[in-house]
């Protein structure tokens, strides 16, 4: 006997990355930024008047919309504030999909998409990222919503904006481009939004702005699209403290640039060092790399690292069983990872 709808009962639920306790831990498993948020964020939180907590927050996150609009050079009514990028995914699935209106996406990708589809009871059309005809397949799949994660997680691969622009023009439905990791990539699909009324961009403050603990993301789309999405969101989906923090973060462009530059430089170094250890590592445009082990099973490496208090992400999913996703840490953290990997790979 269950009280839950069949589709809910049958859904395993999304499994978030492990959050280890303790201090001597190297956490490279959930793509957090290794650097702290801008000092201006902490100032903004400290200076928040009690009155702002007593009252409900701005329903649309006006301060953030203005600041993000200035930073990205789009009008503020093109911005939808959300409780993390994840909430935008959930809003879009609820707005566009049901049992007769499928979601389509290339795989492997962010493992939350199929979970949201199951909860919404809509068909999920999964196409292979490696299919040379991927864009024809996506165009013909008939998704009411098509999601392309760009750069993709967990592969780090970037699709060019003009390819996605061509796709958006062939689709009958909406194209949601998940740009959670775009801060670490060369180029974004922002110009597409201006030309294509069916494109929504997802952005996250968790990665490039070091605010995973705050829960703040946003969507960018033409105002008509934003109007529709606003009907689906909770009335007060972003809280007063998060609005202040995210606003301060997006205004501090110099700090953001410095952090992102450090992560990208370290990504180049880590990729080269992992390759020297015999791992296969694809070039990444994100703040993580996907490393394939040819000699030792990836799951065994993952476990041996965890025994040493070093956490990377292992997905027991088709196409990913022989790989580990490693978030870019500080040079010190990555050196400890490399030392341990060297020991593990030579001992086996
Ligand atoms: C591909 C992708 N999209 C969206 C998100 C959502 O990020 P957040 O809800 O922290 O903004 C994540 C988080 O890990 C992600 O990996």
Ligand 1, residue 178: give the atom nearest the CA: 3
Burial 39-58 (b: 16+ CB within 10 A, else e): eebeebeeeeeeebeeeebb
CATH fold of 6-30+254-347, please?
A: 3.90.1150
- pLDDT tens per residue across span 112-152: 999 999 999 999 999 999 999 999 999 999 999 999 999 99
Confidence (pLDDT) at 76:
98
State the distance from the centre of ligand 1 to the C-alpha of 282, rounded, in angstroms: 21
Confidence (pLDDT) at 318:
86
Q: Which of 204, 213, 220, 320 is the best mutation target for the ligand 1 pocket, counting ligand atoms within 8 Å of the beta carbon and taking the most?
A: 204
Domain 39-252, CATH class in plain words: alpha beta
pTM (two decimals): 0.97
Confidence (pLDDT) at 108:
94
Tens-of-pLDDT digits for all 348 residues of the chain?
A: 899 999 999 999 898 888 888 888 999 999 999 999 999 999 999 999 999 999 999 999 999 999 999 999 999 999 999 999 999 999 999 999 999 999 999 999 999 999 999 999 999 999 999 999 999 999 999 999 999 999 999 999 999 999 999 999 999 999 999 999 999 999 999 999 999 999 999 999 999 999 999 999 999 999 999 999 999 999 999 999 999 999 999 999 999 999 999 999 999 999 999 999 999 999 999 999 999 998 899 999 999 999 999 999 999 888 899 999 999 999 999 999 999 999 999 886
State the distance from the centre of ligand 1 to the C-alpha of 295, rounded, in angstroms: 31
Confidence (pLDDT) at 185:
98
Q: Which of 110, 157, 246 is the best mutation target for the ligand 1 pocket, counting ligand atoms within 8 Å of the beta carbon and taking the most?
A: 110
Those residues whose C-beta lies under 8 Å from the C-beta of residue 28, and which sit 6 or more positions away, are: 288, 310, 311, 312, 326, 327, 328, 329, 333, 334, 337
Nearest CA to 222 out of 180, 185, 190, 251 is that of 190
CA torsion angle for 277, 304, 211, 217 (degrees, to 10)? Answer: 90
Rg (the chain; Cα; Å):
20
Cα 287 to Cα 34: distance, rounded to the nearest angstrom: 10
Domain-by-domain residue ranges, the chain? Answer: 6-30+254-347, 39-252
User: What residues are in contact with ligand 1 under a 6 Å CB criterion?
Assistant: 31, 84-86, 110, 149, 153, 178, 180, 204, 206, 212, 217
Ligand 1, residue 85: give the atom nearest the CA: 11
3-state SS class at 64:
helix
Give the number of other Cβ atoms within 10 Å of residue 10's Cβ. 10
Confidence (pLDDT) at 348:
64
Q: Which of 18, 85, 93, 115 is the best mutation target for the ligand 1 pocket, counting ligand atoms within 8 Å of the beta carbon and taking the most?
A: 85
């Amino acid at each position: 006997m269950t009280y839950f709808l069949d589709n809910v009962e049958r859904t395993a639920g999304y499994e978030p990355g492990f959050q280890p306790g303790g201090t001597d831990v190297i956490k490279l498993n959930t793509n957090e930024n290794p650097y702290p948020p801008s000092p201006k964020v902490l100032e903004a939180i400290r200076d928040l008047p009690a009155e702002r907590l007593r009252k409900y927050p701005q329903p649309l996150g006006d301060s953030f919309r203005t600041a993000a609009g200035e930073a990205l050079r789009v009008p503020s009514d093109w911005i939808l504030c959300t409780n993390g990028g994840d909430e935008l995914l959930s809003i879009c699935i609820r707005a566009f999909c049901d049992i007769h209106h499928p979601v389509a996406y290339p795989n492997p990708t962010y493992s939350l998409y199929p979970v949201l589809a199951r909860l919404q009871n809509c068909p999920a059309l999964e196409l292979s990222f490696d299919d040379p005809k991927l864009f024809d397949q996506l165009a013909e799949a008939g998704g009411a919503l098509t999601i392309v994660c760009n750069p993709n997680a967990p592969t780090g691969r970037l699709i060019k904006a003009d390819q996605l622009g061509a796709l958006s023009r062939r689709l009958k439905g909406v194209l949601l481009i998940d740009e959670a990791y775009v801060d670490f990539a060369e180029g974004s699909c922002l110009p597409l939004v201006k030309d294509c009324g069916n494109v929504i961009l997802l952005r996250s403050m968790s990665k490039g702005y070091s605010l995973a603990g705050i829960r703040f993301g946003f969507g960018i789309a033409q105002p008509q699209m934003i109007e529709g999405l606003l009907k689906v969101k909770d009335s007060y989906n972003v809280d007063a403290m998060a609005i202040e923090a995210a606003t301060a973060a997006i205004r501090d462009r110099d700090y953001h640039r410095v952090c992102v530059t450090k992560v990208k430089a370290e990504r180049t170094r880590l990729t080269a060092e992992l390759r020297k250890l015999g791992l296969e590592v694809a070039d990444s445009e994100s703040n993580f790399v996907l490393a394939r082990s040819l000699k030792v099973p990836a799951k065994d490496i993952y476990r041996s690292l965890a025994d040493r208090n070093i956490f990377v992400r292992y997905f027991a999913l088709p196409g990913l069983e022989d790989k580990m996703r490693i978030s870019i840490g500080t040079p010190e953290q990555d050196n400890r990872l490399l030392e341990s990997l060297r020991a593990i790979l030579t001992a086996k």
